[in-house]
Structure 1
Amino acid sequence: MKLKSVLLAALLATTALPALAQTPLPEDPLDDRSAKRIERMEKVVRELRSIVFQGRDTGKPVVVQPAETDAQIASLGERLGDLEQTLQKLNGQNEALTHDLDQARRASGDQKARADALEARLAALEKKLADMDAAAQAQAQQVAAAPAAPAPAADPAAAFKSARQLLLDGDYANAETAFSAYVTAYPDNARTPEARYWLGETLFVREAYADAAGAYIGAIRGWPQTSWAPDATLKLSRALVALKKPTDACKTLDELGRRYPKAPAAIVSRAASTRVAAKCA
């Protein structure tokens, strides 16, 4: 029955085609879509005619399948496979790009941290240089503003008197310079030990204890019997206490009592307090 139905449909289609062919076409030509539909219909008709003749010649059942279905399915399968491969490749590339991007971000973070550290160090160095430059300029201004110390006079007595007057005026900086110049200019003069004593006084007042101790030692070398010698010995012991040399300070105080037993009461009293500070036995 199915075969008869198919044959009947094929015959009807073949008889209908001439009628369609004899029908006059409208004046306007068919558009592309209509032309394609007619082409598909004609193809179906040809396939049906082939089926009819095949059944007639062989006498065997004919299996009818939709035209081009298998081919379309196969084509779609191939395209789907291609798309899957392309998608896999794209996924792989995407993963590689993501990995590279992560590494680039980490590297960028490390570089930024290093740049920040270097910038901080540079800023610290620039500040240090600026502070040193400012300190140097301030010192230069102080030196330029300070009055120049008088040069030692050609007469030793006049030079000593001038330096002593600076000390009495409280100009310790220039007094130090003047007494130092006197000691250098007149190393063998009779008043040079006393000049060393007064040089020690200018340094002691300014808390330059190491330099003051050196000046006092030069002044009392030989233990001179002068009015200022006991005080120079006492100031030497006090400078040594300030320099955290209590043993040397105690030895100096012992020499003070032995070398100058008739020292003024004020010096003896200060010597006792210095012994307490030095923790002498």
Structure 2
Amino acid sequence: MTARSLLIATIAAFALVGQAAAQDVGGSRRLDQLEKQVRELRAIVFQGRDTGQPVEVRPAGPDPAVTALEQRFDGVDETIRQIKGQSEELTHETEESRQSVAAMHDQNGQLQAQLKDLGDRVARLEAQLAPSAGAGAPPPPPPSNIPPPPVDATAAAQAADTGRLGGPSSAPGAPPATAATASDAYRAARAQLTAGDYAGAANGFQDYLTRYPSAKNTPEAYYWLGESDYAREDYQDATPAYARALKGWPKLPWSPDATVKLARALAETNRTPEACAALAEFDHRYHTVASPTVKARAEAVRSRAKCGA
């Protein structure tokens, strides 16, 4: 059979099938497919006629290149979906972190406000207690021929030591101290002060300073000794303790507080000039770094001692 005959027979066959398919539901779609196949067969037949080569009809199927491209597109879509999911998770985590930071800022602001309010309340209470601490007859005015107050108020305060500081150890014959036993003794005295055992704390710090006079925290130990005496209103002994702590006017966190309390102790023991000199040193050395509470206490002592009047 020639190619022409084959083509005619094929067309006729597909025409008959097409007519039958057109009568079915959805026949129009099937007819379009048949017409496409007829065109393909026709092209194949004419190709064989023109070239004289055998006609090879391959089964219809998807183009491999198209299939590979579709797979690549599918892979890209999946990657995009994954990236989108990760981006949404990161956005959610970032929002949670931002909310946590904002909550922390709010809590910090509230805490600062509470601390300020507490400091103000303490300052007001101390200001109210300052006049009553020395209730009774006011101290006599200083004589007109009194010499000017010393520039270094701590030197005068140290000179007023009752002999308690630097005296013999309360436990003579104790074994040589080690760094561990010194640290234990210091912590024990601090624990007594924290627990409100001011007399025990004073004895503990006094013994510590006698045993370890060269310890690196000696100024702090003198400060806590002064605090132990000050809490019991033992201003006579608190004065030299604070003065020893402030020797050289150190720039430590407790220095402003110790200076004001030294001035208060001096004023309460009728040493007004020295008290005013201590307040002058406070203004010169610590006023810019002191807290509002300490500044308020300084003003209360200044008013009590009538400094500058």
TM-score by length of 2: 0.41
Q: State which structure, 1 or 2, has the greater radius of gyration over its C-alpha atoms.
A: 1
State the TM-score, normalized to the length of structure 1: 0.45
Which protein has greater RCO, CA pairs closer than 8 Å, 6+ apart?
2
Higher helix share: 1
